[in-house]
Amino acid sequence: MTNLWSGRFEKGMNEIVAEFNASIGFDKRLYNCDIDGSIAHVVMLSEAGILTGDEKDEIVSGLEGIRKDIAEGTLTFSVAQEDIHMAIEEALISRIGDTGKKLHTARSRNDQAQVDVRLYFMRETSEILNALIELQRVLLAKAAENTENLFIGFTHMQHAQPVTIGFHLMAYFQMFRRDAERVIDTRRRANQNPLGAGAVGGTTFNINRHRTSELLGFDAPSENAMDAVSDRDYIIEFLSAASISMMHISRFAEELVLWNSSEFKFVSIDDSFCTGSSMMPQKKNPDIAELLRGKVGRVYGDLMAILTVMKGTPLSFNKDFQEDKEAMFDAMDTWKASLIILAAMINKTGFRHDEIMKHLKAGFLCATDIADSLVRQGIPFRESHNIVGRMVKYCERQSCDFADLKQDDLIAIDSRFESLKLPDLSMTGCVNARSAIGGTAPSEVRRQIETGRKWIDTVMGKNQR
């Protein structure tokens, strides 16, 4: 097969080189975007008087026929066609003849490819944003069910303070909210139309780039042709956002693995998200949570791959840029699937409140509440901190808890307990006391949930496309 660009060549490509050079194996998923971009292009060319109306109609009809055949699997591709852009153009020429050769007027594969990728990017990131929002809805619902159910707050994986399950889940809601905001922000910068930028410096034809922007749903034409064909910042931004979000997914998955263990027993993950052992019949392994935890590595790799590809490339277009698509496609597929699976798994995971209550009895979780109470009774915080530290040491030696201490025990620890009083040492009392904005008190968690719901409504109202 003779390539459409081969006029100045005396030899065809070496077979191994052709296979190495081709991207059709992975960029064929862009076929719908490529056809959409080409249709917008020929409509604009017709309106600008560069093509006739009949030529436009013939090309559009041919492209729609190609779209149908690809979707039905009756049109296949080969390495010799190099990429999806050449494959579709060759198919068009073979179907409608010389009129098909006019499709590429006033454009280059450089701007054509970027149109395809940006259109695909906008469509896929819309789905990812929806998956993020659905995950947040699941978290809000689960948090609402558990606004008053007690849990252990950890620091350094040590018992720290009592919190509620709803409060803990709302911490993840905030992480995924930031992830959604990053997607929204990246989409805003990505939604620029490169069509008409040509190979590097624009085109000599009198085209209307605002019209193709309107037809394709872009906010505006890109400002500089050289930047338009060489920019991959939006992909790097996306991969960065994906990496951060996958890290959040991994943190949640890690907690699910821990909570599901025999040492914790905080949760019961639904059987549909677990597997068994081929040897040990008693096992119920949290494999899906572990797999989510592992998937972050490949997305980190995708980010590092494109950062490395771009770091030494002079303006404007370089063949290196072909490597952008596989990294982007992989991260999109992995992130979207991970979000959907995590949401479904959280929805089907139950908290074992009886086991959690057992753990609440360990770790002196109300120590900070005692220190704060002593401060309110006139003891400087550093002194109250020291007093409570000595109380902990005393209890550890006596194998008891704060609630077991008698007045004589307290005076033995510090004589000022003759006049000092201890606060409510119940876990519920400790939780309810933390009612300032951002705290774990049920009333405050309910406010956070309501704020989260309003934020989702606002986001979905603004970002429907």
Which positions are catalytic?
A: 156, 277
Whether 201 contacts 226, CB under 8 Å: yes
Backbone phi, then psi, for 351, in 5-degree steps? Answer: -90, 135
Q: Could you write out the DSSP letters of every residue in 301-319? A: HHHHHHHHHHTTPPSS--G
- Going by their DSSP bridges, the two strands 350-351 and 192-193 should be labelled as unpaired
Alpha-carbon distance of 44 to 51, in angstroms, equals 9
- Going by their DSSP bridges, the two strands 220-221 and 192-193 should be labelled as parallel
Q: Could you write out the DSSP letters of every residue in 96-125? A: HGGGGGGTTTT--HHHHHHHHHHHHHHHHH
Alpha-carbon distance of 137 to 144, in angstroms, equals 10
In the chain, what are the helix, strand and coil shares in percent, each to the nearest 5?
70, 5, 30
**How many Cα atoms within 13 Å fall on the side-chain side of residue 156?**
3
Cα–Cα distances (Å) from 5 to 82, 87, 104, in that order, read 11, 13, 12
Whether 429 contacts 441, CB under 8 Å: no
Q: What is the dihedral of CA 436, 438, 440, 445, to 10 degrees?
A: 100
Whether 128 contacts 183, CB under 8 Å: yes
Q: Which residues pair with 164 in a beta bridge?
A: 150
> What single-letter amino acid sits at 290?
E
**Length of the chain, please?**
465
Residue written as tokens 């698509």?
325
Buried b (16+ CB within 10 A) or exposed e, 348-374: ebebeeeebeebbeebbbbbbbbbbbb
The DSSP symbol for 28 reads G
The DSSP symbol for 14 reads P
Positive or negative CA dihedral for 190, 196, 197, 200?
positive
Residue 329 in tokens: 């496609």
- Going by their DSSP bridges, the two strands 220-221 and 267-268 should be labelled as unpaired
